[in-house]
Amino acid sequence: MRISVIVPAYNEEAVIGRCLEALVTQTVPADEIIVVDNNSSDRTVEVAEQFSEHGVRVVRETRQGVVYARNRGFDEATGDILGRIDSDTMVGPEWVGRLAEAFATDPKGMPAAVTGPSWFYDIPMRRFGLFAHRLFCHQVNRLISGHPMLWGSNMAVSRECWAKVRDHACTGTGLWEDLDLAVHLHRLGLRVRYVDRLRVPVSARRIGATTRDLYSYLKAWPQTYRRHGQRRAAGGAMVFLLFGLVALRPFSLLVRAHTPYDGTLSLGRLFSRSSSASRPLP
């Protein structure tokens, strides 16, 4: 079973090096690692190409948007299993091995896709972050939609699955491309397996955004369901979105004030007007 790992990247020089370092030091090596550069204007490509001797390949996708970068990576990949993480994901050394195990040992037969939860490596209260991610990303989506969610920072699809869903997946803006893919897999009768032990650490940079920026990102959640005519799920997503903005705001402020380099809290960061994307990362 050959495993390819695809990493879409847009202006990710701050994190892409650590992401790739984690991928090339797996106990069970990936057969192929593809970084899809999506018009980066920083040193993303330069940093990624430093891993070429470890088999990392950089391809370019000029159509802007993570869905186009993801599709290009999946289309370029040669593996039987197509893994997909984000540039700020830092997989543990067992991730590729556990991914292969998840596809090979499912008692219900080989699934079409596999996904798992995340915790946040650059903030305190990591156990709470894992709990919140399980709740809002996976359990809530299953509750309101009746089918599992895919988490773009920690997922994989089989090559056979991608061939079936490729032309159904939506493109464009205003959608969560991973949730969109999960909706289409469900409609095609293709099964997603959630594996709790397939955990990966990711950055909390988006959580530390201003309320306006965080809402701008999260509103794509109900919009994705609405785009597919799932009005009940869209309504449920909006309710949980608004609840989450209020209930998790103290946690968001803590994230915003936290300095990932030394673990201290900074009032200057707390009152900064900068977007979450510009947050310094370890």
Query: Domains in the chain, ordered, with CATH?
Result: 3-278 (3.90.550.10)
What pLDDT band is residue 277 in, cutting at 50, 70 and 90?
A: very low
**Distance between CA 18 and CA 171 in Å, rounded?**
29
DSSP 3-state of 184: helix
88-101 pLDDT per residue, tens = 999 999 999 999 99
What's the length of the chain?
282
- Residue 281: predicted pLDDT: 37
pLDDT at 111 over 80: yes
pLDDT tens sequence across 157-178: 999 999 999 999 999 889 999 9
SS3 of 138, please? Answer: helix
| Residue 255: Cβ-neighbour burial (10 angstroms; 0-12, 13-18, 19+) | buried
What local confidence, expressed as pLDDT, does residue 275 receive? 43
Listed residue (149, 169, 177) closest to 233, CA to CA: 149
Question: Which position has the token pair 């009746």?
Answer: 146
